[in-house]
């Protein structure tokens, strides 16, 4: 088998009485795109927050490249090579598009000139080069989503967590985004994508993990998951007798 880049073991995250993530385990292999799907409130974003150090899990461990990173603060997780985007975009509004990306790029650059050069390349890749000197607060939603990806890429991550990057986009925009993400994956970046837009997940993912009420209920190729009766039930409910 290939190298496991991320190992999630028996992770539990509670909020008061609510168990948001309930003994979830999963592996992510280097180079793959793993889709993480499930109905609203399934615990997908919470799991992202546990992996990236925003939440500390009550139980379980997260290992990245064999190293235990459970409970490390977010900035350390980011420096180790795990970057993420946010479902609700969080651009640094008064910064220009370029400045947003440079913040990330500076982490791995010896000086500003180097960081700017790298950032401009990334902006070219995500199609925001022309907008580089625009205040990021004035971008459209599609552009803000692309900026989220650009900023994450600037950290030169080995693992990229995408939280609903396709949500709210029109079908054509989704296709363009999928092309872009495939290109990024080809460059050797492993991805986990939380996504409701099936057109995006089914197209990109090598494997899919399904969460429901905080539990993992299925795992497999897109076809296997799409035909899994438990998954269908989770999404559509049980049929009328």
- For residue 198, state whether it binds other proteins (rule: CB under 8 A): no
CB of 69 to other proteins, least distance (A): 14
Strands lying side by side in the sheet with 33-37? 82-84, 159-163, 190-194, 33-37, 207-212, 215-220
Min dist. Cβ of residue 184 to other proteins (A)? 17
Based on the shown chain and the rule CB under 8 A, indicate whether residue 67 belongs to the binding site for other proteins.
no
Q: What span, in angstroms and rounded, lies between the C-alpha atoms of 125 and 183?
A: 9
User: Which residue is associated with the tokens 């496991």?
Assistant: 4
Helix (H) or strand (E) holding 145: helix 141-154
**Binding segment (CB under 8 A) for other proteins, from list 25-33, 97-105, 182-190, 207-215:** 97-105
We find the least distance from the C-beta atom of residue 241 to other proteins, in angstroms, to be: 47
Which residue stretch of 73-81, 175-183, 191-199, 201-209 sits at the interface with other proteins (rule: CB under 8 A)? 73-81
Q: What's the min distance (Å) between Cβ of 55 and other proteins?
A: 12
CA distance linking residue 225 with residue 241, whole number of Å: 24
Out of 120, 176, 217, 226, the only residue in the binding site for other proteins (CB under 8 A) is 120
Nearer to other proteins, 98 or 234 (CB): 98
Question: Hunting for tokens 């080069």 — which residue is that?
Answer: 129
User: From CA 155, how far away is CA 102, in angstroms rounded?
Assistant: 9
SS3 percent helix, strand, coil of the chain, rounded to 5, is 40, 25, 35
Q: Which is nearer to other proteins, 114 or 183 (CB)?
A: 114
Q: Does 65 bind other proteins (CB under 8 A)?
A: no
List interacting residues with other proteins (CB under 8 A).
52, 54, 73-75, 78-79, 83-84, 86, 90-96, 98-99, 102-104, 106-107, 111-112, 116, 120, 132-133, 151, 154-155
């Amino acid at each position: 088998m290939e190298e496991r880049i991320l190992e999630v073991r028996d992770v539990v995250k509670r909020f008061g009485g609510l168990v948001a993530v309930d003994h979830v385990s999963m592996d992510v292999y280097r180079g793959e795109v793993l889709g993480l799907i499930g109905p609203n409130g399934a615990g997908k974003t919470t799991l992202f927050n546990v992996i990236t150090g925003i939440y500390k899990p009550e139980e379980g461990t997260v290992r990245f490249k064999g190293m235990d990173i459970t409970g490390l603060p977010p900035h350390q997780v980011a420096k180790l090579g795990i970057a993420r985007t946010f479902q609700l975009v969080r651009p640094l509004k008064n910064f220009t598009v370029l400045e947003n990306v440079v913040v990330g790029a500076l982490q791995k650059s010896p000086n500003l000139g180097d960081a700017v050069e790298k950032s401009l390349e990334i902006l070219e890749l995500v199609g925001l080069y022309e907008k580089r000197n625009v205040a990021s607060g004035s971008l459209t939603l599609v552009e803000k989503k692309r900026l989220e990806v650009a900023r994450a890429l600037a950290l030169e991550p080995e693992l990229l967590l995408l939280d609903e990057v396709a949500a709210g986009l029109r079908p054509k925009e989704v296709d363009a985004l999928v092309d872009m993400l495939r290109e990024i994956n080809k460059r050797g970046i492993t991805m986990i994508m939380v996504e409701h837009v099936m057109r995006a997940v089914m197209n990109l993912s090598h494997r899919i993990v399904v969460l429901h009420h905080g539990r993992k209920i299925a795992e497999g190729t897109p076809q296997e998951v799409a035909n899994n009766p438990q998954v269908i039930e989770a999404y559509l409910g049980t049929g009328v007798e």
